[in-house]
Amino acid sequence: MKTITQSPLDPAFVQDPYPFYDRIRSEAPLAYWEDFKMVAAFSDQAVHMLLRDRRFGREVPQEMQKPGPEHLAPFLQVEAHSLLDAEPPRHTRLRKLVLRAFTSREIKALAPGLETLCHRLIEGFPKDEPFDLLDTYCTQVPVIAICRLLGVPEDMAPQLLEWSHKMVAMYQASKTTETEHAAAKASAEFIEFLTAYVEERRKTPGEDLITRLIQAEEDGESLSTDELIGTCILLLNAGHEATVHSLGNGVKTMLQQGWSKDWLQPDGIDQLVEEILRYDPPLHLFTRYAYEEVEVFGHTFQRGDLVALLLAAANRDPASVANPAVFDPTRPAKVNKAFGGGMHFCVGAPLARLEMAIALPILFERCPHLKLAETPVYSNTYHFHGLTRLLVSM
């Protein structure tokens, strides 16, 4: 197997990782990525198969599990009860319970409020000077949507964002000891807040997701408080982080390449959303553990081996999409790898798609002369892929 070297912190790579993906994918579906010390899958076929192969999973194999460092205890407590890192039977039970509360009907019910929110945010845009659309719009829509969904007061949004940013930084290649301490402190504060809030909702149920999660039952089983808190934190961290950058990356691409009103019509918006997610997704790398000795694409994995799935590389595989480097929202909408796949397909995908399908048409309809005020720069946050800011003017 070919060994490749590419620092995930290299500024040129961070700004445009796609040439690297293209080069490696053209040589083989799998390669050993020295910097991550693991095999990585670059082709759509390999990523698709590994996302669905039950011989691979998210949970650390039993014999490899060991207590984490003491200073990370609160962060690890959240992770231990996360749907994202669970495998059957735990995953099956958790996901069923979450989906009982997180229904498509409940998600669609958010639409009118999201439309009103988008208009209100746009009313507040500065008229005569450049401003950061990432901060004023792309971040606000998903975080306020999550607040409303959970039933948390909207004025908590800045605090939830701060906790989320500090926790999510743990998954970045650039993390440091300071990152770990900040993530642990944020986790402890988030747990304390949600524990009190869940207790309040047990006594006084509301019309919100936390109440529905408390009430959700499957075969006589319900979520424990730790599982409930882990689910709420996952929904915020994964939900807001992905949607913020999907919106930001999408608006950037549309402003750089020129956009068409046709893309934003009811019969074109789903294609636009899918093309944004395919072309420049917010999450580029997702890992799996091998659970047994298994040979795939000419490589033998041993139990406990990690494999990196390059979702963004799969999305631009010429074997599965024509002219993959071209941004073309007139393509027939086709599910891509931006939200993963298989058993761990993102539970929040319908909400993210809804937010984008509402926020993009309203933004461009209300601000038809929107333009970039500076060249956007991506943050040094691999394996996430999002902008530091999106400075625009009207």
Over residues 2-17, the pLDDT tens digits come to 999 999 999 999 999 9
Cα distances (Å, whole numbers) of residue 309 to 8, 45, 300? 15, 11, 16
Task: Measure the CA dihedral 108/111/114/119, to 10°.
Answer: 170
Q: Give residue 332's pLDDT.
A: 86
**Within its chain, how far is the Cα of 132 from the centroid?**
21
Angle of helix 140-150 relative to helix 111-123, nearest 10 degrees, comes to: 140
**pLDDT surpassing 90 at residue 49:** yes
Q: How far apart are CA 133 and CA 373, in angstroms?
A: 11
**pLDDT surpassing 80 at residue 113:** yes
Query: What fold does the segment set 3-393 form as a domain?
Result: Cytochrome p450 (1.10.630)
Q: How far apart are CA 353 and CA 370, in angstroms?
A: 22
Nearest to 164 by CA among 110, 232, 228: 232
Residue 304 · residue 244 · CB < 8 Å: no
What residues form DSSP beta bridges with 32? 3, 39
Amino acid occupying residue 304: G
Alpha-helix runs per DSSP H in the chain: 11-15, 18-27, 44-52, 73-80, 90-101, 104-108, 111-123, 133, 140-150, 157-168, 177-203, 209-215, 225-257, 269-279, 311-315, 349-366
- pTM of the complete model: 0.95
Segment 374-379 mean pLDDT: 97
Q: Which residue has the tokens 């009118």?
A: 112
DSSP per-residue letters across 139-186? THHHHHHHHHHHT--GGGHHHHHHHHHHHHGGGSTT--HHHHHHHHHH
Nearest to 355 by CA among 143, 173, 68, 56: 143
**pLDDT surpassing 70 at residue 218:** no
Residue 361 · residue 100 · CB < 8 Å: no
What residues form DSSP beta bridges with 57? 289
- Three-state DSSP state, 38: strand
| Interval 158-186: pLDDT, tens | 999 999 999 999 988 888 999 999 999 99
Q: For strand 30-33 and strand 3-4, is the pairing parallel, antiparallel, or unpaired?
A: parallel
- Three-state DSSP state, 31: strand
Share above pLDDT 70 across residues of the chain, in percent, rounded to a whole number = 99
